[in-house]
Amino acid sequence: MIMQNSPALVPLLLLAAAISIPVLAIKKTGVAYLAALAASLGSVVISAYNALRVWESGPLTYHFGGWNPPIGIEYVLDPLSVFVALVVNVVAFIVLCHAGGLKEREIPGKSVPYYALVLLLLCGANGMILTGDLFNLYVFLEIFSLACYGLIGIGEKQAPIASFRYLIMGTVGASFYLLGLGFIYIVTGSLNMADVRNILPHVYGNPAVTTGLALIVIGMGIKMAIFPLHGWLPDAYTYAPSTSSALIAPIGTKVAAYVILRVLFFVFDVKFVSQTLPVTDLIGWLAAIGILFGSVMAMAQNEMKRMLAYSSIAQIGYIGLGIGLANPLGFIGAVLHILNHAFMKGALFLVAANLRKNAGHSDISKLDASYRKKLPWSMAAFTLAALSMIGLPPTAGFFSKWYLALGAIDKGNWVFLGVILLSSLLNAVYFFRILEKVYLGTPSAQGAEGAPSPKSNKGEGFVAGEEEYALMIPAVVLSFSLLLLGLLNANIVKGVIQRIIPLGM
Residues that bind another protein (CB under 8 A): 135, 138-139, 142, 146, 149-150, 153, 157-158, 160-161, 163-164, 167-168, 171-172, 175, 178-179, 182, 185-186
Instruction: Kindly tell me which of 186 and 421 has the beta carbon lying closer to another protein.
Output: 186
Instruction: Kindly tell me which of 27 and 157 has the beta carbon lying closer to another protein.
Output: 157
Instruction: Kindly tell me which of 190 and 340 has the beta carbon lying closer to another protein.
Output: 190
CB of 247 to another protein, least distance (A): 18
Give the C-alpha separation, 488 to 349, whole Å. Answer: 24
Instruction: Kindly tell me which of 231 and 418 has the beta carbon lying closer to another protein.
Output: 231
Torsion of CA 41, 343, 478, 39, to 10 degrees: -10
Give the C-alpha separation, 377 to 368, whole Å. Answer: 15
CB of 145 to another protein, least distance (A): 8
Which run of H or E residues covers position 33?
A: helix 30-57
CB of 289 to another protein, least distance (A): 22
Instruction: Kindly tell me which of 160 and 328 has the beta carbon lying closer to another protein.
Output: 160
CB of 201 to another protein, least distance (A): 22
Beta-carbon neighbour count of residue 370 at 10 Å?
Answer: 13
Instruction: Kindly tell me which of 146 and 406 has the beta carbon lying closer to another protein.
Output: 146
Give the list of residues 6+ apart from residue 450 with CB closer than 8 angstroms, or none: 387, 392
Pinpoint the alpha helices (H) of 202-303: 207-224, 233-239, 242-261, 270-271, 279-299
CB of 92 to another protein, least distance (A): 21
Residue 75 Cα to chain centre, angstroms: 21
Cβ pair 461, 330 in contact under 8 A: no
CA-based nearest residue to 59, from 75, 84, 73, 78: 78
- Beta strand pairing call for 60-63 and 74-77: antiparallel
Instruction: Kindly tell me which of 129 and 141 has the beta carbon lying closer to another protein.
Output: 141
CB of 211 to another protein, least distance (A): 12
CB of 207 to another protein, least distance (A): 14
Terminal CA-CA length for the chain: 38
